[in-house]
Amino acid sequence: MGKILKPDICVIGGGAAGLSVAAGAAAFGVPVVLVEQGKMGGDCLNYGCVPSKALIAAARQAQAMRQAGAFGLVAAEPFIDGERLRARIRSVIEGIAPHDSVERFSGLGVEVIQETARFIDDRTVAAGDHLIRARRFVIATGSSPAIPSIAGLAETPHLTNETLFEFKHVPRHLLIVGAGPFGLEMAQAYCRLGTRVTVVEKADALSREDPELKTIVLDAVRAEGTTLHERTVIRSVERAGDGVLLHCEHESGPLGIEGSDLLLATGRAANHAALNLGAAGIRHDAGQIHVGADLRTSNRRVYVVGDAAGGLQFTHAANYHARLVLQQILFRLPAREIRDIVPRVTFTDPEIAQVGPTEDEARASFGAIELVRSDMSGSDRARTDGLGRGMVKVVVGRGGRILGAGIAGAGAGEMINLWAFAVANRLTLKHFRDYVAPYPTLSEIGKQAAISYYSPMARNRFVRSAIRILRRFG
Ligand SMILES: Cc1cc2nc3c(=O)[nH]c(=O)nc-3n(C[C@H](O)[C@H](O)[C@H](O)COP(=O)(O)OP(=O)(O)OC[C@H]3O[C@@H](n4cnc5c(N)ncnc54)[C@H](O)[C@@H]3O)c2cc1C
Ligand SMILES: NC(=O)c1ccc[n+]([C@@H]2O[C@H](COP(=O)([O-])OP(=O)(O)OC[C@H]3O[C@@H](n4cnc5c(N)ncnc54)[C@H](O)[C@@H]3O)[C@@H](O)[C@H]2O)c1
């Protein structure tokens, strides 16, 4: 038997969640062992956020070339070189990789073991020839693409986020299954890169988003050329020549859709099968580890963070989880996950972002709410920059409290920061009315929304008579 290690914390998984826990603990001088079986940086760096946003950035440039005529320049149809595109995505990943590397973490004082971890009892993990008996364990094993059960899929070549960004050519006609954030971001990006794109969604596209806001996004994505079939069930799939044929069922009848390549964007499944959770007395079922709002499992020594926790699946949620868990382990202070303060952004163009409940969710939870909206057409900056439609929609509770906010439009992902700050700090629209927004910025439309909330006051008879009285004093 190999080495027995006895750190304070053993972190399993070196993606965004695990690295944040390890770095945070090491910064306080706490002994940490990190076990990672694959690439340091996990999904976000290697197969998720970073390559997808690099691809989207290239697609945005291509679209800007086509649309240059609107700015008084000569428009051009871009030449798309698949090899160079792939090389650029690779170089962006390589530029960030040192930050997540074994070398950096070893330098921080973390002992990194590059093996697969599994529990052998309620306080011991085996990884290669190491046994790790830690005071606390943090499961940060992330998630993998959920593969739907569709007849013929196993025999038909298909891509997922784990293979898409290594793909050698730009597809001729990409069929995408799933119109969640991943499916739609990729649909628009590939469409802009000259691919014909068809998306098949069994329910509604962007189903979590506010209907009024997501219409702005879906109209734009469709207008650029993506074909989107919603409420369409795929019965089977087969190879057709060099390509793929989907046999679908829509309310209007059967539908055959043929394309050159197939991408699955059908959600995620948490990774825990290899962990041997039963040996550690950790309650779970096939889909999920049972975990409380404190991110603790039924084995009180063991926490779960990031995608493995099965709730919010974002890199910033993983970082937030890391803070909550460190607060409990290092300082023995209670901490609970508050999902309403965690924003989400889908990086289509226009973007869509939300923090806190949407209108429908807020009505279901709070009953009486108020809404304020502000349209991007009122923004001078949107005009100078030739931007399309956009809207800020704020869900307001008692006393003007900001319960949630949704934004569709260019820059929504940046603008949501201010609203996320407001929701986390329980601010009211008065705070938004009173701060000064620089001109001309898109964020001004948020302030405009706050002003519109208070504008009925200008017509209030008591306010008006108070002003009349004060005027008499000179
Ligand atoms: C295409 C795509 C785009 C995305 N874009 C965004 C975005 O723009 N913004 C955003 O916030 N989020 C985005 N996400 C989500 C984000 O990538 C994830 O929420 C985040 O990576 C989760 O981090 P994690 O550490 O929980 O898991 P992961 O990054 O999956 O890391 C888990 C690690 O654990 C390791 N592991 C698993 N089992 C074991 C074991 N038994 N032993 C040892 N190691 C193990 C794995 O090898 C992996 O490295 C995107 C996801 C995808 C798929
Ligand atoms: N900008 C971002 O933050 C961003 C971007 C991409 C991905 N992500 C994250 O990555 C993960 C994966 O994203 P996603 O969009 O794949 O997941 P998702 O679960 O949000 O969406 C999957 C979609 O696929 C549909 N679907 C599932 N099975 C289907 C089938 N058989 N036929 C047709 N449609 C089917 C679902 O109805 C759903 O709309 C999520 O956790 C997401 O949060 C985040």
Indicate whether residue 185 lines ligand 2 (CB < 6 A): yes
How far CA 356 is from CA of 151, 186, 422, 435, in Å, comes to 38, 26, 10, 22
Atom of ligand 1 nearest to the CA of 268: 53
Residues across the chain:
474
Check residue 459 and give its pLDDT: 84
Is the CB of 273 within 6 Å of ligand 1?
no
- This model of the complex carries an ipTM of 0.99
- What domains are defined for the chain? 3-40+101-145+269-337 (3.50.50.60), 153-267 (3.50.50.60), 343-459 (3.30.390.30)
Ligand 2: does its nearest atom lie under 6 Å from the Cβ of 88?
A: no
Q: Which residues contact 290 (CB under 8 A, 6 or more apart)?
A: 282, 283, 284, 297, 298
Distances (CA, A) of 55 to 49, 169, 190, 266: 10, 13, 9, 19
DSSP alpha helices (H): ranges in 41-111? 42-46, 49-66, 82-96, 102-107
Does the structure show a pLDDT above 70 at 396? yes
Q: Which residues pair with 247 in a beta bridge?
A: 236, 256
Question: pLDDT band at residue 188, thresholds of 50, 70 and 90?
Answer: very high
Instruction: Compute, in angstroms, the gap from residue 43 CA to the centroid of ligand 2.
Output: 15
The model's pLDDT over 67-89, given as tens digits with 9 standing for 90+, comes to 999 999 999 999 999 999 999 99
Q: Which ligand is nearest to the CA of 52?
A: 1
Binding residue per annotation — 142?
yes
Which tens digit of pLDDT belongs to each residue from 10-32?
A: 999 999 999 999 999 999 999 99
Q: pLDDT tens-digit profile of 258-306? A: 999 999 999 999 999 999 999 999 999 988 999 999 999 999 999 999 9
**Are 391 and 358 in contact, with CB atoms under 8 Å apart?**
no
Q: For the residues 428-455, what does the mean pLDDT come to? A: 94
What's the whole-number mean pLDDT along residues 426-449?
95
For 273, the token pair is 């099968």
Contact 414, 445 (CB under 8 A): no
pLDDT of residue 430: 95
pLDDT of residue 1: 57
Is the beta carbon of 37 within 6 A of some atom in ligand 1?
A: yes
Quick: pLDDT tens for 344-394: 999 999 999 999 999 999 999 998 999 999 999 999 999 999 999 999 999
Judged against a pLDDT cut of 90, whether residue 461 lies above it is answered with no
Q: Is 201 annotated as a binding residue?
A: yes
pLDDT of 169: 87
